[in-house]
Structure 1
Amino acid sequence: MSIRIIVATFLVCLLGSAAAAQPLPRYDLEQLEAAIDKGELGDIAALASTQGGEITYRKRFDGKAPGTPVDIKSAGKSITALAVGMAIMDGKLAGRDVAVWPYLGHSRGEPFDSITVGDLLAMASALDCDDRDGKSPGQEERMYRTREWRAFALDLPARSFTRGENGYGPFSYCTAGVFLLGQVVETATGERFDDYVQRRLFDPLGIARPIWRTSRSGEIQSGGQLTISDDALLKIGRLVLDRGEWDGRQVIDRDWIESMLTPRHTLGEHQFYGDLWWATPLRAGEQYVPAWMMKGNGGNIVAVVPTHDAVLVVQTRNYNKRDAERHAFTALWAMLGALEPVTAPAIAR
């Protein structure tokens, strides 16, 4: 499914019922800045936007220097989806349909041996793992209390699991599964996950090495908890908007970007999930437009908006706050409202 078709699908699904979205304050940028300065949107660290690759807005609100890294929490999961695509492009990984367990060192029998890369990308595996359920055996805080996350994830029990007509099981948000994807990339490429991503993704984009969270045994958390700058996130968003191309070089296959941004789950009337990327509409003037997003705790969001050829970044420290995402969307609306819609190259080509 091409990005053009995905956008058209979203326009049909999303624009027909704008009133269904939760009401948010409608600020222009000046009003937004005033609200942030008054503390009305919690701890917003940085906002930034680009259109056509040019910076249209960038402001720091926490008193730190521009570009100071912020922990974007689970928004880092979306980078793992890019890493999987690069490993496939490099011929190190056969594809999204390959079984995971052979890369992880041992067989456990069914249903584990049938878990694929695609299952983990879509948060739809047989692992009994749900971060939003404190009683789940795989809940991520349980993993963080262990010394070796790999051992924890490999020992998870199975849940009741049936594949639907689309080939995927039910959605279950599972950080441990995304961590295992990083372990698969390490085995397939023969490089530590952070080194591979730095060489294949960050270096071509001119991004300085970010700070990856690690387990006590030194394992890289490919399931999020990444501390990175806003300008780096703008570049990553632009790479996705341009279907894997950067400065004339195809860093990631176009087909992978389009596959990654194909909805695997419908999570609400206007919310979809692809391969570790979210799709949620954004208000632009008097209508709603589709956007693909990296999303993390606290309202940390990178939004790719094809109708405006734009990338929007919100970095916050509103971790575990009830209104965190509401505050982030308020900022996204204001930044997008300052831009005119265009025909994005990523759609027109």
Structure 2
Amino acid sequence: MKSKIITLALSLLTYLNVSAQKNEFVKPDSIIYPIHKSNIGKIAFMSQTIAVENFKQTDFLQTFELKEKTDLTIRVFLGNSLTNYLHLLSPQSTAEELTKNGNYQFTFVVDNKKVYVENLNVGAGSIENKNQKTIFRIPLISSINEDSWGTFLWNRFFGNGGQEALSEGEHFLKIEIRPYLKLSEVLTGNIIAEGQLKIIVPEIKIDEKLVKVQQIKPIKDWQISTAKIDIAKIEELNRKIEKKIYKDVTSIVVLKDRKILIEEYFNGANRNSLHDTRSVGKSFASTLLGIAIKDKYIKSETQTLKEFYDLKSFQNYSVSKDSITLKSLLTMSATFEGSDINSESLGNEENMYPTKNWVRFTLDLPIDKTKQINKQWDYFTAGCIVLGDIIHKSVPNGLEKYSLEKLFKPLGIKKYKWQFTPQNVPNTAGSLQLSSLDYAKYGQLYKNQGIWNGKQIVSQEWVTKSLSHQMNISEDEYYGYLFWNKIYKINGKDYEVYYSSGNGGNRIFMFKDQPIVIVITSKAYNTPYGEKQIEKIMQEYLIPAISK
């Protein structure tokens, strides 16, 4: 009797979904395949792509082993198109308004626990697909890096709790899809498709010796700290890095009272490795500008671009360009039409790299009339290229030799590697490579108020300006002169840090009220987890371990 009731309920659900097409707001694709008719409202998991006309019930994946170089794809069987589902949420809206403001909501549930919910960006998927598609395929994990919003969605799920939820062992993953519409408020509909998959996460075998806190070997220029740390915390962190729960981390160095407290290396790195920390190099541009001002090769950061360039010889000249200061480039508040946050921006860094002259690219940009002068923060890599060019032209023998004589030699940094612009000028936007301990020297230099071995390398005034709250980014985050500032709140205590930051989770942290410098290097470039895992490492492991 129970099975008959279930069969009747499923038949009714199918009937309601199919009959909904008769009340369509826009014309959807017809439901023609038998596999579609019998699976309306379901999500099929697949390990390989099978054309829908050949797809059978036996092709539904029941179990999946989550490992590297594998594929996981879903095929979604709907009873109607997205636009028609959105119409039920807002019957008075036009089809254009619905497609412009609505999309699918994905909910990821692991072992009956809701882990991640995302309202898919309204730009994901074409208008045509929203209006017509009743069946679609989306790769979640692709061994060939198939370009799809699905792979990015999976990565965001993985970076926002999915990785921790899918620990070693067996799990049940459930995905629910609903329509959502963002008007004056966010409206969410009922489930229109769902599916479940058993996921097996194999054990990653590691060398237990690598979990132990690494012994710090004697090294010139550094003393070794005898301060206490929570060894269990650090070993728990090491285990997660070795098991790839935290991926692509290459080193962690902690200084306390100017001595090495922790020195850990991972994924093939060692004490001599040079690390590409991407935009951490921007902070070095600030340092070198400050040194050039101290040496009187540049008057002040309040100088304007017109004092260094004939701005009228560049495209899109306007009087507004004459008032752009070096300070506005340092604080990411210049009014150029340039934003790395906005992929559509003319001045986005990805548009700069293919050009033959990065300085000309930047100075050719028009002014963004919507930006308030020196008041609106907007991350702008190209501006750092102009700063580097100005230093290069202003100091004797150019920026490369100047940085060697004025910064690297005084700090005892002998091994490093610049990236260069097409004009063979050191790239002050990023990718300056140093060892972890040499990055630690740089962080300690700022903790020392610009002094190293009794010599004032950077003026104390410049250090203060660089680490001050020049621009408010968010409620509790600030920006200085190419340095960031934030507060970690742990166990009821505030830990304020200034830091250099680079793509993938590369950081140099300088604690404001504690004698601590932390360097973390990573190769998690352009991943959804690179930045997030560094926050967890700081919050849950490093700060608790060294402040115990």
TM-score tier (shorter): 0.7 to 0.9
Q: Which whole-Å deviations, capped at 9, do the CAs of 1:220-242 have from their partners, x for residues lacking one?
A: 21111222211111000000011
Instruction: Name the residue aligned to 2:303.
Output: 98
2:276 and 2:305 map into 1 onto residues whose CA distance is 28
Structure showing greater relative contact order (alpha-carbon pairs closer than 8 Å, 6 or more residues apart): 1
Determine if the alignment matches structure 1 residue 135 to structure 2 residue 344.
yes
1:234 and 1:315 map into 2 onto residues whose CA distance is 11
Instruction: Name the residue aligned to 1:339.
Output: 546
1:285 and 1:93 map into 2 onto residues whose CA distance is 45
Shift of 1:65: 2.6
Amino acid at match of 1:281: I
Provide structure 1 residue ranges, at least 5 long, that are not aligned to the other structure.
1-21, 342-349
Instruction: Name the residue aligned to 1:249.
Output: 455
Instruction: Name the residue aligned to 2:504.
Output: 298
Determine if the alignment matches structure 1 residue 53 to structure 2 residue 258.
yes
Determine if the alignment matches structure 1 residue 145 to structure 2 residue 354.
yes
Instruction: Name the residue aligned to 1:68.
Output: 273
Shift of 1:194: 2.5
Structure showing greater radius of gyration is: 2
Provide structure 2 residue ranges, at least 5 long, that are not aligned to the other structure.
1-159, 165-229
Q: Which moved more, 1:205-214 or 1:268-277?
A: 205-214
1:305 and 1:249 map into 2 onto residues whose CA distance is 22
1:109 and 1:216 map into 2 onto residues whose CA distance is 26
Shift of 1:323: 1.8
TM-score, normalization by structure 1: 0.85
Q: Is the 8 A contact 1:104 1:184 kept in 2?
A: no
Q: Which whole-Å deviations, capped at 9, do the CAs of 1:36-91 have from their partners, x for residues lacking one?
A: 01000110011101011100001110123313011101111011111111011001
Determine if the alignment matches structure 1 residue 229 to structure 2 residue 446.
no
Q: Is the 8 A contact 1:314 1:331 kept in 2?
A: no
Q: Is the 8 A contact 1:80 1:181 kept in 2?
A: yes
CA RMSD of aligned residues (A): 2.2
3-state SS, counterpart of residue 281 of structure 1: strand
Q: Is the 8 A contact 2:450 2:463 kept in 1?
A: yes
1:145 and 1:56 map into 2 onto residues whose CA distance is 43
Structure in which a larger fraction of residues adopt helix:
1
Q: Is the 8 A contact 2:279 2:429 kept in 1?
A: yes
Shift of 1:209: 4.4
Picking from 373, 381, 405, the partner of 1:199 is 405
Q: Which whole-Å deviations, capped at 9, do the CAs of 1:245-301 have from their partners, x for residues lacking one?
A: 111011111011001111122212221111110001235554231000000100000
1:87 and 1:219 map into 2 onto residues whose CA distance is 16
TM-score, normalization by structure 2: 0.55
Picking from 125, 138, 144, the partner of 2:334 is 125
Shift of 1:338: 2.5
1:220 and 1:105 map into 2 onto residues whose CA distance is 22
1:238 and 1:289 map into 2 onto residues whose CA distance is 17
Instruction: Name the residue aligned to 1:43.
Output: 248
Q: Is the 8 A contact 1:48 1:230 kept in 2?
A: yes
Q: Which moved more, 1:102-111 or 1:325-334?
A: 102-111
Instruction: Name the residue aligned to 2:284.
Output: 79
Amino acid at match of 2:429: G
Q: Is the 8 A contact 2:505 2:530 kept in 1?
A: yes
Instruction: Name the residue aligned to 1:266.
Output: 472
1:30 and 1:281 map into 2 onto residues whose CA distance is 25
Amino acid at match of 1:46: S
Q: Is the 8 A contact 2:282 2:384 kept in 1?
A: yes
Give the total of aligned pairs.
317
1:111 and 1:209 map into 2 onto residues whose CA distance is 42
1:128 and 1:163 map into 2 onto residues whose CA distance is 12
Amino acid at match of 1:240: Y
3-state SS, counterpart of residue 39 of structure 1: coil
Q: Is the 8 A contact 2:478 2:484 kept in 1?
A: yes
2:263 and 2:535 map into 1 onto residues whose CA distance is 16
3-state SS, counterpart of residue 279 of structure 2: helix
State the identity %: 25
Q: Is the 8 A contact 1:130 1:173 kept in 2?
A: yes
Amino acid at match of 1:130: S
Determine if the alignment matches structure 1 residue 240 to structure 2 residue 449.
no
Q: Is the 8 A contact 1:69 1:227 kept in 2?
A: yes
Q: Is the 8 A contact 1:44 1:315 kept in 2?
A: yes
2:344 and 2:331 map into 1 onto residues whose CA distance is 22
Determine if the alignment matches structure 1 residue 89 to structure 2 residue 298.
no
2:533 and 2:337 map into 1 onto residues whose CA distance is 32
2:370 and 2:289 map into 1 onto residues whose CA distance is 24
Q: Is the 8 A contact 2:385 2:427 kept in 1?
A: yes
Amino acid at match of 1:81: S
- Change over 3 Å in CA distance of 1:161–1:191 after alignment to 2: farther
Q: Which whole-Å deviations, capped at 9, do the CAs of 1:118-140 have from their partners, x for residues lacking one?
A: 11000001111101111111111
1:204 and 1:284 map into 2 onto residues whose CA distance is 36
Structure in which a larger fraction of residues adopt strand:
2
Instruction: Name the residue aligned to 1:155.
Output: 364
Shift of 1:154: 1.6
Picking from 231, 234, 237, the partner of 1:32 is 237
Instruction: Name the residue aligned to 1:13.
Output: none
- Change over 3 Å in CA distance of 1:192–1:105 after alignment to 2: farther
Shift of 1:163: 4.2
